[in-house]
A and B are shown apart, each in its own frame.
Chain A
Amino acid sequence: MDAPPTVRARDLAKYFGEVVALDGVDLDVAPGQIHGLVGPNGAGKTTLLGLLLGLAVPDRGTLEILGTPVGRALAVPEGVAGFVDGPGLYPSMTARQNLAALAALRGDTTLDIDDAIDQVGLTDVADDRVRGFSLGMRQRLGLAAALLTKPRLLILDEPSNGLDPAGKKHVYGVLTRLAANGTAVMLSSHRMDDVEALCSEVTILSTGRVAFSGPISKLASENSELDYRVRTSDPAAARRHAADARGIRLRDQDAIQDAAQDPVQHAVQDGVEVLVISASVPALDEFVKRLVGDDIAVRELAPVVSPLEAAFLALTEQQETN
């Protein structure tokens, strides 16, 4: 039998006075799914995560968590854990004391504190006071606190904040294993690469509304045309080919200059002009063939932003314009 969705939200709305934090949000998260929640600042991500944790109730709509309708604040069922706005830790206690206090609060003597600490890689500092922890270590301990309760829905707000690459890899491994065991994970992030690496589905929020919700592959394909950075052995000839080719649009000079100033793109290298074009994948293939046919070497060809990020930008800009 297929399990019911861990989260099922329909037409959720939440207002803070005259501010519309969420408006008509639908959301489905299946067991074992890692679901990303992205959106610009103020899009309503934290508010939505807060509703899932039971910190508030929606002003409109229905919310079911683990098959239980949530009708009032702090009434989410057992099995939901996580944090929003950073992990809640007490700096005067050690890592172990924080978890022990939480376990005692839950009255569950079977909770394995050492295992939770070990899972997030903090065994060496388990008896150090949290006061001296870095942001990344606090994030990991916050995750350990959530893991302690063996959640079936794990809510994490910006879990990779402050994590170094090794720490990030470790945490991703933990979340992936958790999902493989059937726990649904809902996480928010500002980093598209994090979401791409970890999540199977994503919800994009913009000004409190859902701009997209579904598999990441579908999101990437929705945005058929992407910006690409092209560096060749003959920039002038390449520019002429781009201007003549069908389905290729040369980005205007301002865009090129913007791209050149973007340190990620390394657009002007050794004084060589970098072309920025907008194209679909088939048109790009044709363009490359023409360059090669004209004996122009393609030294670099890369999307200016990742397909997911491009889709995100396109969707959120469109939503804000609407």
Chain B
Amino acid sequence: MTATVAAPETPAVRRVPVVRGYRFELVKLLTQWRVRVLIIACWLAPALFVAVVSQQASLPVDTLFGRWMHSTGWAGPLVLLGFSGSWALPLLTSLIAGDVFAAEDRLGTWRHLLVAVRSPRRIFVAKALSSLTVIVVLVIGLVVSSTVSGLLVVGNRQLIGLDGHLLSPGNAAGTVFLAWLCALAPTLALAAIGLLGSVALGRSPMGLLLPAVVALAMQIVQQLPVPVAFRLALPGYAFISWNGLFTSPAQLGPLLIGVIVSLAWTLVATGLAYFLFVRRDFTNPTHDGSGRLALTAGLLPLVVLLGVTTAAVAPVTGFGSGIDQDKVQRAVAVEFAHLYRLQTKQLNRADVTEEQLQAAAECTKGGDQVAARGPGNDWRCVVSWHIPGVAAAGSAIYQLDINPLGRYVADGDGPKEVNGFFLVRTPSGDEPNPLWQFDGNIELLPVNPKG
């Protein structure tokens, strides 16, 4: 059957603008039950977690700032940040960015999408931006939920930094926000790796799991005695180096390197994903991305990037562990002095300044049997200090467990008047004894003692 019709105008070729493609991708993401559950979870679960843990008698002292969850509401979002860097953020990036391209392969909708949008480049940009948007919404949920809960349940109080100095509530708020902002950089890097996996591996489950697998591999490497240059060249290091914001002065060197490395990984992985995507033959029904080109064009450049970054960072960091006796002694002495002042206030004693205390630490490793450098749980420090008007110097002993990232836990061995009890009796009731056990952080980059 044929109808005779008048000749219509020749229609133009029209591509869909990125903004519309972005909205389309966002709608698709938000109609998935998995994404909805994630959003609800990220906006509610942290609040519940912080509220419940803050009410418990035992606190998560293994997690940074966990021991202060009774003392200030600002500890909650930091505990969550520590946990999120290890598990939550890699998983979130896996589930969002790792699936954003693979989902079209699974549903067989590529051709439909291409006919509608008419530009693989715009599809890529729209998908990358929409997955980034959802990830940012999830991260904001984690921050807001844990912060609001912490402030409501515990209160807007001073936060004790990783060198024992006190951060006012306002200062704590800014620093906590900055810490989460810094953690966005490695989150973006993992998201970019997720995009790459999703493009390169198609329907393969490995595409979906890639960010989580990479994050797990990085965590394992971070626990190994690898050179500090290699440690800082990994895109996940900014999940750790935000710790440096909570010392005074802030340890900005590792943080900046970590953020820059993460952003470099973000750019390179996104660029590779783009390259692979626009070269894909969508008319070939057998193509699901997991070809040799995907492996060589996706994986090898990242390995090269890791090598280049390590070489670039090495002149700044050196190839050692970054942990030596001088740094340990300085960190412990400074932190002890800050915390001693805090304890003095808690016990309503006469105030004393850090300068007056002249705290010093003498640290050894392995009972002088091994060189005093590198991580380990066999560090022992004798801290001495002076109280104005008292001739004799006080001294206290701490066992230190320093992990390869420079984070340490100092456990007091006495005397009992200083660091022997878990709680101290204060005019306002029992409080945790800040000198009984404390967390600290050793900067892995070379430092100028006078700086």
- Chain A residues within CB distance 8 Å of chain B: 1-4, 16, 30-34, 46-47, 50, 53-56, 66-68, 74-93, 97, 101-102, 104-107, 145, 152, 176, 179-182, 200
Of A105, A107, A181, which is within 8 A of B3 by CB?
A181
Inter-subunit contact A66/B24 (CB<8 Å):
no
Interface-side segment among B74-82, B263-271, B278-286: B278-286
CB distance from A283 to the nearest CB of B (A): 33
Given A31-B5, A179-B3, check contact A75 B13 (CB 8 Å).
yes
Chain B, 27-59, contact with A by CB distance < 8 Å: what is the 0/1 string? 110011100000000000000000000000000
> How far does the alpha carbon of A152 sit from the alpha carbon of B27 in the complex, in Å?
28
Count of A-B contacts judged by CB separation below 8 Å: 140
B449 part of interface (Cβ distance < 8 Å): no
CB distance from A76 to the nearest CB of B (A): 7
> How far does the alpha carbon of A81 sit from the alpha carbon of B118 in the complex, in Å?
12
Inter-subunit contact B24/A74 (CB<8 Å):
no
B16: chain A residues within 8 A (beta carbon): 105-107
B428 part of interface (Cβ distance < 8 Å): no
Inter-subunit contact B31/A97 (CB<8 Å):
yes
Given A90-B28, A92-B32, check contact A1 B3 (CB 8 Å).
no
> How far does the alpha carbon of A86 sit from the alpha carbon of B282 in the complex, in Å?
14
Inter-subunit contact A55/B31 (CB<8 Å):
no
Inter-subunit contact B2/A91 (CB<8 Å):
no
A46: chain B residues within 8 A (beta carbon): 285
11 A-B residue pairings within 8 Å (CB atoms): A3-B6, A3-B8, A32-B5, A75-B118, A79-B11, A82-B115, A89-B109, A102-B116, A104-B23, A104-B24, A200-B1
Inter-subunit contact A55/B282 (CB<8 Å):
yes
> How far does the alpha carbon of A176 sit from the alpha carbon of B13 in the complex, in Å?
27
B217 part of interface (Cβ distance < 8 Å): no
Q: Chain A interface mostly helix, strand, loop or mixed?
A: loop
> How far does the alpha carbon of A87 sit from the alpha carbon of B113 in the complex, in Å?
10
Given A32-B1, A78-B14, A104-B20, check contact A93 B111 (CB 8 Å).
no
Inter-subunit contact A77/B1 (CB<8 Å):
no
A81: chain B residues within 8 A (beta carbon): 115
> How far does the alpha carbon of A32 sit from the alpha carbon of B32 in the complex, in Å?
40
B283: chain A residues within 8 A (beta carbon): 16, 47, 50, 55-56
Inter-subunit contact B109/A176 (CB<8 Å):
no
B12 part of interface (Cβ distance < 8 Å): yes
> How far does the alpha carbon of A50 sit from the alpha carbon of B115 in the complex, in Å?
10
B10 part of interface (Cβ distance < 8 Å): yes
B4 part of interface (Cβ distance < 8 Å): yes
Looking across the interface, which residue of chain B has its beta carbon closest to that of A50?
Answer: B283
Looking across the interface, which residue of chain A has its beta carbon closest to that of B29?
Answer: A92
A78: chain B residues within 8 A (beta carbon): 11-14
Inter-subunit contact B31/A92 (CB<8 Å):
yes
Given A92-B31, A107-B17, check contact A16 B111 (CB 8 Å).
no
Inter-subunit contact B109/A88 (CB<8 Å):
yes
B114: chain A residues within 8 A (beta carbon): 55, 74
Of B12, B17, B285, which is within 8 A of A85 by CB?
B285
> How far does the alpha carbon of A34 sit from the alpha carbon of B1 in the complex, in Å?
7
B303: chain A residues within 8 A (beta carbon): none
Inter-subunit contact B2/A107 (CB<8 Å):
no
A50: chain B residues within 8 A (beta carbon): 111, 283
Of B5, B6, B32, B119, which is within 8 A of A74 by CB?
B119
Of B5, B11, B108, B111, which is within 8 A of A55 by CB?
B111
Inter-subunit contact B7/A179 (CB<8 Å):
no
B90 part of interface (Cβ distance < 8 Å): no
Number of interface residues of B (CB under 8 A): 44
> How far does the alpha carbon of A80 sit from the alpha carbon of B275 in the complex, in Å?
28
Inter-subunit contact B115/A53 (CB<8 Å):
yes
Given A68-B10, A77-B10, check contact A90 B109 (CB 8 Å).
yes
B7: chain A residues within 8 A (beta carbon): 1-4, 67
B21 part of interface (Cβ distance < 8 Å): yes
B112: chain A residues within 8 A (beta carbon): 83, 87-89, 145
Q: Taking A86-B108, A182-B5 as given, write out 19 further A-B residue pairs in contact, using a Cβ cutoff of 8 Å, ordered by the A residue number.
A: A3-B7, A32-B4, A33-B2, A67-B7, A74-B114, A74-B115, A77-B12, A83-B115, A87-B112, A90-B28, A91-B107, A92-B32, A97-B31, A101-B24, A105-B20, A179-B1, A179-B2, A180-B3, A200-B1
B166 part of interface (Cβ distance < 8 Å): no
Looking across the interface, which residue of chain B has its beta carbon closest to that of A152?
Answer: B8
> How far does the alpha carbon of A105 sit from the alpha carbon of B14 in the complex, in Å?
12
B4: chain A residues within 8 A (beta carbon): 2-3, 31-32
Within 8 A of A (CB), among B105-136: 107-120
> How far does the alpha carbon of A16 sit from the alpha carbon of B1 in the complex, in Å?
35
A88: chain B residues within 8 A (beta carbon): 107-113
Closest CB pairs A-B (n = 4):
A88-B112, A32-B3, A182-B5, A88-B109
A75: chain B residues within 8 A (beta carbon): 13, 118
A180: chain B residues within 8 A (beta carbon): 1, 3
CB distance from A77 to the nearest CB of B (A): 4
> How far does the alpha carbon of A51 sit from the alpha carbon of B114 in the complex, in Å?
13
> How far does the alpha carbon of A172 sit from the alpha carbon of B16 in the complex, in Å?
31
A34: chain B residues within 8 A (beta carbon): 1
Inter-subunit contact A90/B107 (CB<8 Å):
yes
> How far does the alpha carbon of A79 sit from the alpha carbon of B115 in the complex, in Å?
11
B117: chain A residues within 8 A (beta carbon): 105
CB distance from B393 to the nearest CB of A (A): 69
A181: chain B residues within 8 A (beta carbon): 3
Looking across the interface, which residue of chain A has its beta carbon closest to that of B32?
Answer: A92
A90: chain B residues within 8 A (beta carbon): 28, 31, 107, 109
Given A55-B115, A180-B3, check contact A66 B11 (CB 8 Å).
yes
B31: chain A residues within 8 A (beta carbon): 90, 92-93, 97
CB distance from B294 to the nearest CB of A (A): 17
> How far does the alpha carbon of A87 sit from the alpha carbon of B116 in the complex, in Å?
12
CB distance from B124 to the nearest CB of A (A): 13
A77: chain B residues within 8 A (beta carbon): 10-13
B285: chain A residues within 8 A (beta carbon): 46, 85
Given A53-B115, A102-B116, A105-B117, check contact A1 B6 (CB 8 Å).
yes
CB distance from B411 to the nearest CB of A (A): 52
Inter-subunit contact A54/B24 (CB<8 Å):
no
B8: chain A residues within 8 A (beta carbon): 3, 66, 152
CB distance from A244 to the nearest CB of B (A): 44
Looking across the interface, which residue of chain A has its beta carbon closest to that of B36?
Answer: A92
CB distance from B17 to the nearest CB of A (A): 7
> How far does the alpha carbon of A218 sit from the alpha carbon of B17 in the complex, in Å?
46
B284: chain A residues within 8 A (beta carbon): 16
Within 8 A of A (CB), among B278-319: 281-285
> How far does the alpha carbon of A33 sit from the alpha carbon of B17 in the complex, in Å?
33
> How far does the alpha carbon of A243 sit from the alpha carbon of B7 in the complex, in Å?
57
A82: chain B residues within 8 A (beta carbon): 115
Looking across the interface, which residue of chain A has its beta carbon closest to that of B103?
Answer: A90
> How far does the alpha carbon of A32 sit from the alpha carbon of B3 in the complex, in Å?
5
